[in-house]
Amino acid sequence: MALRSSRFLSSRNGVPADRRPTAPRAPGTNPVHIVGAGPGDPDLLTVKARRVLEQAEVVVYDRLVSPAILALIPATAERLFVGKATHNHSKTQDEINALLIARAEEGRRVVRLKGGDPFVFGRGGEEALHLAQAGIVFEIVPGLSAATGCLAAAGIPLTHRGLAGVAHLASGHTLEDGRLAVDWAKLSDPQSTIVIYMGLATIDRIAAALMTGGLAASTPAAAIENGTLPAERRLRSTLGAISRDLRDQEFASPTLIVIGPVVALAEILSGETSAGAEDQMSRPRARAIER
């Protein structure tokens, strides 16, 4: 089955993809909405995400969806937790896929609710493909990703003219044999921004690989725990010290790590300082900032 709605212009028998007729929807069925919940603050939900969530009859949600957003789910809706943490999965991915298909086949309004954006380290693509293969109609509702939402709220641009013209989003996970899943040395560009998801357990190895690749130990680095939420904490450090500083400050998941020259702009752009900000930006030591 083709994906639900394609506006990409391709041709088959001379007919553009966005003009070909689609198969009629079976009576009584509803699309599964794969919804991005954003980084946590309910005010950062998109209008569409909130509308879809408030109309849901079944909500299948992840661990990183904040309580404030879960509070928007109708009291009559069935809530199904399928969250995952390292070495602790409440359900396997195959079980989640089967659950979505089973609830959709009942004709109920199903929302698959994910933190951030469903297509940024959220397995939204995998689940959409399984729905398509099962002949289930679905719709993607984009969300504000952690990389954009948390960094912007902390005053750290992903890109900035003259400092970083490239941004890398990467996972800190390892392969089954223990090796890092990303060749970090290849990302060691001093004029780029590196955003690391799920990297707390491996940041020491990641930092070492980046320095081996050529990044200076003095490269600005930061971490954001529980971004955009009332319990948010921020830490500014350097590439050479970030691993130690995270341990000393006892940062926990979910924590987003960012490395690159744009981190230095947070002194001014976060609104935490005014006069003398440029002098403070030059300080090499880590500084934890709690809200």
Q: What positions carry a catalytic annotation?
A: 62, 84
Strand partners for 225:
233, 255
| Other CB atoms within 10 A of residue 26 CB | 10
**Residue 160 exposure: Cα atoms within 13 Å on the Cβ side:** 17
Separation between Cα atoms, residue 263 and residue 222, nearest integer Å: 7
Residue (of 15, 16, 251) closest to 7 by Cα position? 16
**Spatial CB neighbours of 84, under 8 Å, sequence gap ≥ 6:** 62, 63, 90
Phi, psi of 44, deg, nearest 5: -95, 0
Residue (of 252, 49, 34, 206) closest to 131 by Cα position? 34
Separation between Cα atoms, residue 191 and residue 170, nearest integer Å: 17
Determine if the peptide bond prior to 220 is cis (ω within 30°).
no
Burial 253-289 (b: 16+ CB within 10 A, else e): ebbbbbbbbbbbbbbebbebeeeeeeeebeeeebebe
